[in-house]
Amino acid sequence: MSAESPSDQSVPDEVHETLMEATYRALCAEGYANLTMQRIADEAGKSKSLLHYHYGTKHDLLLAFLRHLMERFDAKVDATEGDAPDERLRYLLDKMVPNDGGDGDDDEYDTFGLALMELRTQAPYDEAYREQIAKNERVIRERISAIIRDGIERGVFREVDPDRMTALLFAALDGARLQRVVLSEATDDESAIHPRDVPTEVRTAIDKFVLSDLLTEDR
């Protein structure tokens, strides 16, 4: 099965959705290294053989899951169509930080974020993961970039290189997530900012130091 012609296109939509949700919950519970098809089947209330029948190996299922994440991101962006470019941009950036409002208690963000980091560090050893992850990140960049380009055309944002601005925003929130998920349990009571609070702190920094300057009305 290649990333181009996923066999999961033949899976009924409802079953696919159930299994992708089950994969998400299993990754949160087991992490990447301990993930098994049995655990995903248990989470879905389906048989293991059904999983293999529809998706092939665990590797194939995880590729389908990566495509599912991309499609979900795409759907989120589409849902904002018609909103003002600055609102759309802020909304998408908000989606990349935990929901815990800064109290650091979003366990799902940590366990799933860590599983994704572990999967990503496999990319150099696994061509199919690598190409799918590259595609996911390309889609994220293209969608954010298009919103910035639209904002410039409408005069909401000042003239910047949209791809360069996107690279900065995406890398900052990605790095913040990395720093949090690997160190969320660190004792570390000496830091000005605990690793757990880095994503919300970086999100605020983006508002104060980057977006304030990007918006034409603030200049």
Q: Which residues bind its own copies (CB under 8 A)?
A: 114, 117-118, 120-121, 123-124, 130-131, 133-135, 137-138, 141-142, 145, 160-161, 163-165, 167-168, 170-179, 181-188, 190-193, 195, 198, 201-202, 204-206, 208-210, 213-214
Minimum CB separation of residue 115 from its own copies in Å reads: 10
What is the closest distance, in whole angstroms, from the C-beta atom of residue 207 to its own copies in the complex? Answer: 10
| Residue located via tokens 């941009």 | 89
Q: Is 57 left (phi over 0), alpha (psi -120 to 50) or beta?
A: beta
* Beta carbon of residue 49, minimum distance to its own copies (angstroms, whole number): 32
Query: Which residue, 56, 57, 63, 175, is CA-closest to 130?
Result: 63
The C-alpha atoms of residue 150 and residue 85 are separated, in whole angstroms, by: 7
Dmax over Cα atoms in the chain, in whole Å? 60
Residues 6+ away with beta carbon under 8 Å from 124: 130
Give whichever of 15 and 29 is closer to its own copies, judged by the CB atom.
29
Instruction: Pick between residue 17 and residue 217 the one whose CB is nearest to its own copies.
Output: 217
Nearer to its own copies, 13 or 189 (CB): 189
Q: Which is nearer to its own copies, 29 or 210 (CB)?
A: 210
Select 19 or 169, whichever has its Cβ closest to its own copies: 169
Q: Which of 171, 60, 190 is nearest to 126 (CA)?
A: 60
Nearest approach in angstroms of CB 72 to its own copies is 20
Residue type, 136: N
